[in-house]
């Protein structure tokens, strides 16, 4: 057994080495330009993040991020192909070169960043975290008041650990009921088997919209864990990593500067604001420094929108999810989304 | 001569014949049976009316969006709206006629094989088996002037059928050969076949699929990617052929030794002995076992979710994750169950018909 294990370890290490040695600076961008599209890994169906509509077009904030990268590289947001991946195969697909970028609600953690031949460029598409969905009849306003509550949890997720940590730290008691699927746990909340349902906050909103009367349930304000979700690329190609990172920052910077898909063309021609001029390529060579066209930001915003627009379109009040900006608001609007300047 | 007029027949005594008698005999014969009958009626009353009202009377049948589902029952609008996705996956809308045509060709092409009067069935069948897969491949995948449709866009019932038919069409011949090999007198061939069968039977299908999608790419040079569907198909064929081989071997073992000896005594060589005498009898005997394997495979296709392919069940799952249709999972699953049931039940009825037709009296 021991020998088998060590053999496996050697094989895995060889595989990892082999994979990382393929990635060379600049290779990804060259390959992408040669094949003419970006292969983007998304989830196999997560409301608001990446889910196919009736015609198979992938909708969601994760999918739109890939479109933004395509707009920056090719000037055409349509030059992206999606691979729908499940949680198990997502990293292999990236390591093996099947996809160029993984944008699949993946939590940025130190072990993932350091040990798998992958790297998180540093842009966070969505600050998520574990939260609680409660029946408003309980009259609970905060998670601190949940002493003695019965809590529905999805089995085998890190949520389980987070909840137990949180309750222990606050000296509260609770009774967990675990379920296999989110549909089951939503049904039990509805039937009153549990007082509170817990999951990643982004998913709580989706859960709530499944209930017969969503208005009777509230998402409590506490977020008890950090789950920054962001894109991932292969380790070892700095150029491509930088491009992905700055496409993300461009989305934030344009929102901050008030540049939207409606006014971006006009702003690019006639802006007086030097920050906006630099951002939109009217001044300086900031695009070519990244090996992107000069008007890369214009293309992104014109075709996909700025961060605020993407958020609203996929997760915001106009959708069934009705998610608040919360932590995902810009730094100057009460959130923690902050981007370094284009300069 | 006096004519004798018969009296009209008396009706049979109602305590012996008729529905009342049947009920007395079967449902209320003693106090225990009466109790069980009443309990069963209570259970039916408990389950069936709410089910009917959910599925039919209170259900929402017309509309285009979730908001049209105002009544308390099932929202079949969801199924209506996503029917195309459940059938074809994300096959481009304007090219879906190609899928339809493939199915029609299969039905029309195979029809003569089921009509008694058609002559030269063997020749026709062979031609069909050789030509049809090529035509089907070109129609579904593209080529020869037809626009190419990547297999990642295939899905729904179409993908289920592709995996099941290709799986079984590949596994049957391979399985028969493996069964022959396992009973062969040549040690090398026998060991090879036994190893193959025991290996593939020893691993779960889910592991095979998982290996093919997660481990295989790591060992291939970067940029070299097999088509996902092809990987799945090869895995399924290997896996199923091991099962088919064992089923067929069971049939061959049931053939009396005299049949082998008689065939040999007639001067037939190995292949003709097997092909003309043993296999026709053995295969006929194992029809239930083979159909069992086919049905199991048909249902196992849903495991391809592991490698990110979207068969009928997974298309349903995915459609239910759409924010505009959240909470419609139950309707979707009921629909998927119904489709699966129709296919599996059809297969089992056909196998019963086949057994009767081929029955030449070996029954004991």
Residues 6+ apart with CB under 8 A from B328: B66, B75, B78, B319, B320
- A334-340 contacts: CB < 8 A, separation 24 or more? A335/A127, A336/A127, A337/A124, A337/A127, A337/A252, A337/A307, A338/A252, A339/A248, A339/A249, A339/A250, A339/A252, A339/A253, A339/A256, A340/A249
> Is the Cβ–Cβ distance between A181 and A187 less than 8 Å?
no
CA-based nearest distance B189→chain A, Å: 29
DSSP letters for B158-173: HHHHHHHHHHHHHHHH
Of B306, B314, B323, which is closest to A320 when you measure between CB atoms? B323
Mean pLDDT of B3-31: 82
Phi, psi of A153 (to 5 degrees): -130, 145
Is the pLDDT score of A261 beyond 90? yes
pLDDT in tens, A8-36: 444 444 444 444 444 456 789 999 999 99
Neighbours of B113 (CB within 10 A): 13
pLDDT, residue A1, reads 39
pLDDT in tens, A24-71: 567 899 999 999 999 999 987 888 899 888 777 899 999 999 999 999
The alpha helices in B89-120, defined as continuous H runs, are 96-114
From CA A38, how far away is CA B54, in angstroms rounded? 46
User: In chain B, which residue's Cα lies nearest the Cα of A11?
Assistant: B219
pLDDT, residue A45, reads 80
Which two tokens mark B120?
């030269």
Highest mean pLDDT among A12-21, A89-98, B14-23, B275-284: B275-284
> Is the Cβ–Cβ distance between B359 and B281 less than 8 Å?
no
> Is the Cβ–Cβ distance between B124 and B118 less than 8 Å?
yes
Positive or negative, the CA dihedral A82, A239, A258, A70 is negative
From CA A272, how far away is CA B151, in angstroms rounded? 50
User: In chain A, which residue's Cα lies nearest the Cα of B69?
Assistant: A212
Residue A44 to residue B318, Cβ atoms within 8 A: yes
From CA A183, how far away is CA B330, in angstroms rounded? 9
pLDDT, residue B361, reads 62
Is the pLDDT score of B57 beyond 90? no
Cα of A246 vs its chain's centroid, Å: 15
pLDDT in tens, B185-203: 899 999 999 999 999 999 9
Instruction: Give the total residue count for chain B.
Output: 364
Q: What does the mean pLDDT of chain A come to?
A: 86
Q: What angle do CA A329, A119, A297 make, to 5 degrees?
A: 50
The lowest-confidence range among A146-160, B44-58, B155-169 is A146-160
Q: What does the mean pLDDT of chain B come to?
A: 87
| List of chain A residues whose C-beta atoms are within 8 Å of the C-beta of residue B93 | 55
From CA B242, how far away is CA B151, in angstroms rounded? 26
pLDDT, residue A14, reads 43
**Among A234, A227, A3, which Cα is nearest to A102's?**
A234
Report helix, strand or coil for A198. strand
Positive or negative, the CA dihedral A145, A148, A151, A155 is positive
| List of chain B residues whose C-beta atoms are within 8 Å of the C-beta of residue A210 | 326-327
CA-based nearest distance A317→chain B, Å: 13
From CA B55, how far away is CA B72, in angstroms rounded? 10
pLDDT in tens, B302-331: 888 777 788 898 888 888 878 788 778 888
Of residues B16 and B48, more confidence is placed in B48
Residue B327 to residue A206, Cβ atoms within 8 A: no
> Is the Cβ–Cβ distance between A107 and A228 less than 8 Å?
yes
Which two tokens mark A331?
């730094």
pLDDT in tens, A79-100: 999 988 877 778 888 988 889 9
Return the number of CB contacts < 8 Å for A and B: 90
CA neighbours within 13 Å on the CB side: how many for B62?
Answer: 0
First to last CA, chain B: 57
Is the pLDDT score of A328 beyond 50? yes
Mean pLDDT of B35-46: 94
CA-based nearest distance B319→chain A, Å: 8
Residue B84 to residue A54, Cβ atoms within 8 A: yes
First to last CA, chain A: 57
From CA B309, how far away is CA B317, in angstroms rounded? 12
DSSP letter assigned to residue B143:
B
Name beta bridge partners: A232. Answer: A102
CA-based nearest distance A194→chain B, Å: 19
pLDDT, residue B362, reads 55
Residues 6+ apart with CB under 8 A from B12: B18
From CA A121, how far away is CA A132, in angstroms rounded? 30
DSSP letter assigned to residue A105:
E
From CA B233, how far away is CA B167, in angstroms rounded? 6
Of B222, B318, B324, which is closest to A22 when you measure between CB atoms? B222
Strands A149-154 and A58-59, by their bridges, are unpaired
Q: Measured over all CA atoms, what is the biggest interatomic distance in chain A, rounded to whole angstroms? A: 70
| List of chain B residues whose C-beta atoms are within 8 Å of the C-beta of residue A31 | 223
From CA B187, how far away is CA B182, in angstroms rounded? 9
pLDDT, residue A46, reads 83
User: In chain B, which residue's Cα lies nearest the Cα of A12?
Assistant: B218
Identify the contact set of chain B against chain A, taking CB-CB distances under 8 A.
81-82, 84-85, 89-90, 93, 152-153, 210, 213-215, 217-223, 225, 305-308, 310, 314, 317-318, 321-324, 326-327, 329
> Is the Cβ–Cβ distance between A122 and A245 less than 8 Å?
yes
Is the pLDDT score of A7 beyond 60? no
> Is the Cβ–Cβ distance between A229 and A105 less than 8 Å?
yes
Strands A58-59 and A227-234, by their bridges, are unpaired
Q: At what angle do helices A238-256 and A61-74 cross, to 10 degrees?
A: 110
Residues 6+ apart with CB under 8 A from B92: B149, B153
pLDDT in tens, A266-316: 999 888 899 999 999 888 889 999 999 999 999 999 999 999 999 999 999
Which two tokens mark B337?
């169950």
CA-based nearest distance A249→chain B, Å: 27
**Among A325, A343, A339, A126, which Cα is nearest to A253's?**
A339
């Amino acid at each position: 057994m021991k020998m088998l294990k060590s053999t496996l370890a050697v094989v895995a290490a060889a595989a990892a080495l082999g994979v990382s040695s393929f990635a060379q600076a600049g290779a990804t961008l060259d390959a992408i330009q040669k094949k003419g599209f970006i292969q983007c890994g998304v989830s196999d169906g997560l409301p608001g993040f990446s889910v196919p509509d009736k015609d198979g077009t992938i909708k969601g904030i994760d999918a739109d991020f890939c479109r933004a990268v395509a707009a920056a590289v090719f000037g055409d947001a349509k030059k992206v192909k999606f691979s729908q991946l499940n949680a198990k195969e997502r990293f292999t697909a990236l390591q093996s070169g099947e996809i160029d970028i993984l944008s699949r609600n993946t939590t940025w953690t130190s072990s993932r960043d350091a040990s798998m031949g992958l790297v998180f460029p540093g842009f966070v598409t969505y600050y998520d975290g574990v939260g609680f969905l409660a029946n408003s009849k309980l009259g609970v306003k905060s998670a601190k008041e949940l002493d003695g509550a019965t809590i529905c949890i999805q089995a085998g997720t890190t949520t389980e650990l987070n909840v137990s940590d949180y309750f222990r730290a606050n000296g509260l008691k609770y009774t967990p009921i675990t379920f296999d699927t989110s549909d089951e746990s939503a049904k039990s909340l509805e039937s009153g088997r549990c007082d509170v349902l817990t999951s990643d906050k982004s998913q709580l909103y989706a859960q709530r919209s499944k209930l017969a009367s969503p208005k009777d349930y509230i998402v409590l304000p506490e977020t008890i864990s950090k789950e920054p979700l962001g894109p991932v690329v292969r380790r070892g190609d700095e150029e491509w990593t930088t491009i992905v990172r700055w496409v993300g920052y461009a989305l934030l910077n344009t929102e901050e500067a008030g540049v939207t898909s409606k006014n971006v063309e006009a702003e690019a021609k006639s802006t007086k604001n030097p920050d906006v001029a630099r951002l939109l390529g009217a001044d300086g060579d900031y695009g070519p420094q990244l090996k992107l066209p000069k008007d890369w930001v214009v293309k992104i915003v014109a075709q996909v929108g700025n961060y605020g627009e993407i958020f609203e379109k996929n997760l915001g009040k106009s959708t069934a999810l009705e998610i608040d900006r919360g932590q995902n608001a810009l730094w100057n609007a009460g959130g923690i989304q902050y981007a370094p300047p284009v300069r | 001569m006096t004519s004798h007029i018969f009296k009209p027949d008396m009706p049979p005594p109602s305590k012996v014949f008729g529905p009342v008698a049947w009920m007395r005999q079967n449902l209320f014969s003693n106090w225990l049976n009466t109790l069980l009958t009443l309990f069963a009626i209570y259970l039916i009353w408990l389950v069936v009316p709410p089910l009917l009202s959910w599925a039919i009377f209170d259900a929402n049948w017309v509309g285009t969006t979730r908001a049209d589902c105002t009544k308390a029952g099932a929202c079949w609008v969801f199924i209506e709206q996503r029917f195309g996705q459940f059938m074809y996956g994300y096959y481009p809308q304007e090219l879906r006629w190609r899928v339809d045509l493939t199915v029609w060709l299969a039905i029309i092409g195979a029809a003569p094989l089921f009509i008694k009067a058609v002559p030269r069935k063997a020749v026709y069948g062979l031609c069909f088996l050789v030509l049809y897969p090529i035509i089907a491949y070109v129609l579904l995948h593209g080529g020869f002037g037809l626009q190419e449709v990547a297999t990642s866009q295939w899905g729904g019932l179409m993908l289920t059928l592709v995996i099941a038919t290709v799986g079984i069409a590949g596994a049957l011949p391979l399985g028969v050969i493996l069964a022959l090999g396992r009973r062969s007198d040549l040690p090398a061939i026998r060991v090879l076949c036994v190893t193959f069968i025991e290996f593939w039977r020893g691993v779960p299908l889910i592991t095979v699929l998982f290996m093919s999608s997660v481990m295989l790419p790591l060992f291939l040079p970067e940029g070299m990617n097999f088509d996902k569907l092809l990987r799945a198909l090869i895995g399924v064929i290997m896996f199923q052929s091991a099962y088919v081989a064992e089923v067929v071997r069971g049939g061959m073992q049931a053939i009396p030794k005299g049949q082998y000896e008689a065939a040999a005594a007639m001067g037939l060589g190995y292949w003709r002995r097997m092909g003309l005498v043993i296999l026709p009898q053995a295969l006929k005997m194992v029809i239930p076992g083979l159909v069992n394997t086919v049905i199991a495979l048909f249902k196992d296709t849903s495991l391809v979710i592991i490698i990110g392919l979207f068969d009928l069940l997974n298309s349903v799952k995915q459609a239910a994750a759409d924010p505009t249709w959240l909470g419609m999972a139950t309707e979707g699953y009921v629909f998927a169950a119904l489709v699966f049931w129709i296919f599996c039940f059809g297969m089992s009825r056909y196998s019963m018909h086949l057994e009767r037709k081929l029955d030449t009296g070996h029954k004991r």
